Amino acid sequence: MDRILVLVRHGQSEWNLKNLFTGWRDVGLTEKGIEEARAAGRKLREQGLDFDIAYTSALKRAQDTLTIILDELGQPGLETVRDQALNERDYGDLTGLNKDDARKKWGEEQVHVWRRSYDVAPPGGESLKDTLARALPYYMRRIQPDVLSGKTVLVSAHGNSLRALIMAIEGLTPDEILKRELETGVPIIYELGADSRPVSVRVLKD
């Protein structure tokens, strides 16, 4: 039985381009982001993948990335579940700020702690641990059972919500997941065993 799970971080967004903290703010894709999504779809098509269901967040950039990928795959009507459990980490008071301006306001060290620690949240926002607390139960309840039943599943989401899933799938420690960088528009293909652990992992980079 094939148990295939594909994770894709959305293509470059308008605020990624401007170096702004985005979080739950609903911004669109740039032209580069649209092309990254198209390229992801082409790479998945070349792998001969045919999906049974897709999951995405409640945010436009992830949904639009998914729509473009499915168009490239010739599966525009695929059953899709949208849920804010898969939303990006909420950056609270940092949302909308340029990252360099945030460093000037709070200091390089403090902003680094907010961005790269596991359990320290920015004011009014979420830590990676908080993001995990909502994304992981959703994965265990909805996505993982689909994969383990033999469905081929596509998830289009965000850097930090996907980190939460990867942490669970690969059994990583907080320190290990903090070091994992996810590029925009690059599919990660997992084949899971019956015990839900990865049998193989492929990253479809150029």
Asked about 36 being catalytic, the answer comes back as no
Least Cα distance to 86 among 162, 188, 16 occurs for 162
Asked about 176 being catalytic, the answer comes back as no
Q: Yes or no: say if 38 and 72 are a contact pair by the CB < 8 Å rule.
A: yes
Own/partner contacts of 67-72, CB < 8 Å, gap of 24 or more, are 68/11, 68/34, 68/37, 68/38, 68/41, 69/8, 69/37, 69/38, 69/40, 69/41, 69/44, 69/154, 69/156, 70/41, 70/154, 71/41, 72/37, 72/38, 72/40, 72/41, 72/42, 72/44, 72/45
The pair of structure tokens assigned to 88 is 């990006």
CA separation for the pair 81, 151 (Å, rounded): 14
Say which of 10, 36, 126, 158 is annotated catalytic.
10
Say which of 72, 88, 126, 158 is annotated catalytic.
88
List residues with catalytic annotation. 10, 88
